[in-house]
């Protein structure tokens, strides 16, 4: 049986620019964030530099996130992030079974990529949680640390700043883990590199 490559235009220019900016900023934020967390007193200048770069990258990430949010509100791309609740868990299970069993038996993907369904159920729930819960959370807690005077003083006897810090670090850690899994899943395309090409030229390749 011969397979003909199908090319679907799924990633408009603005999404590609946002994604590239976002990915680079997240890498910078993770590296500088880790160097702030595991800083060593003898490398004081590097610590200061890491804080400055982290703060600037965080401010640019806030702007780029707002562009993503507005872009999804104003363009058809936002529809991919609306989860059809009815039967969602069943679809999620199907995709999970495919990723854990089906894919190794070379069965067909249960939710092939189409113009109406860019994301499979697992991608959809991950991207929604990431872009509408975790990233806003890391941004808001980051601003809370940048302006400690606006952060609540104490929550049930625990310092508000410590709490914000803990939440910020946890959200940053979650993003780091999701990013690694995200990159791994991006290699499961028509070829290991085809999904990465999609984010450069806008076309998803499938067969």
Q: Is 61 helix (H, G, I), strand (E, B) or coil?
A: helix
Give the pairing type, strands 6-9 and 203-206: antiparallel
The distance from CA 142 to its chain's CA centroid, rounded to whole angstroms, is: 17
**Which structure tokens are listed for 162?**
């410590």
Could you list the residues that contact ligand HEM (CB under 6 A)? 11, 15, 19, 22-23, 26, 77, 80, 118, 123, 127, 130-131, 135, 175, 179, 182-183, 186, 195-196, 198-199
Nearest distance from C-beta of residue 42 to ligand HEM, angstroms: 31
The span from the CA of 190 to the CA of 116, in Å, is 19
For β-strands 158-159 and 154-155, DSSP reports them as antiparallel
Give least dist CB 63 to ligand HEM, A. 15
Q: Least Å distance between CB 22 and ligand HEM? A: 5
Residue closer to ligand HEM, measured from CB, 17 or 89: 17
Tokens representing residue 119 in the block: 């994301």
CB of 158 to ligand HEM, least distance (A): 28
Query: Which distant-in-sequence residues (6+ apart) come within 8 Å of 65 by Cβ?
Result: 22, 135, 136, 139
Q: How far is the CB of 177 from ligand HEM (least distance, A)?
A: 11
Query: Pairing relation of β-strands 158-159 and 203-206?
Result: unpaired
């Amino acid at each position: 049986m011969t397979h003909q490559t199908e090319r679907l235009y799924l990633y408009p220019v603005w999404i590609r620019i946002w994604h590239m900016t976002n990915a680079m900023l997240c890498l910078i934020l993770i590296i500088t964030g880790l160097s702030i967390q595991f800083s060593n007193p003898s490398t004081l200048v590097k610590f200061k530099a890491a804080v400055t770069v982290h703060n600037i990258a965080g401010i640019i990430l806030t702007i780029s996130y707002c562009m993503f949010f507005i872009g999804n509100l104003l363009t058809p791309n936002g529809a991919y992030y609306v989860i059809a609740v009815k039967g969602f868990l069943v679809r999620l299970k199907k995709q999970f079974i495919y990723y854990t069993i089906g894919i190794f038996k070379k069965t067909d993907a249960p939710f092939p990529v189409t113009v109406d369904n860019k994301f499979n159920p697992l991608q959809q729930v991950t991207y929604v949680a990431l872009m509408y819960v975790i990233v806003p959370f890391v941004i808001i807690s980051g601003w809370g640390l940048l302006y400690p005077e606006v952060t609540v003083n104490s929550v049930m006897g625990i310092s508000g700043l410590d709490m914000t810090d803990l939440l910020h670090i946890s959200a940053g850690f979650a993003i780091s883990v999701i990013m690694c899994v995200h990159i791994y899943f991006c290699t499961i395309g028509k070829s290991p590199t085809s999904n990465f090409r999609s984010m450069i030229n806008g076309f998803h390749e499938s067969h």
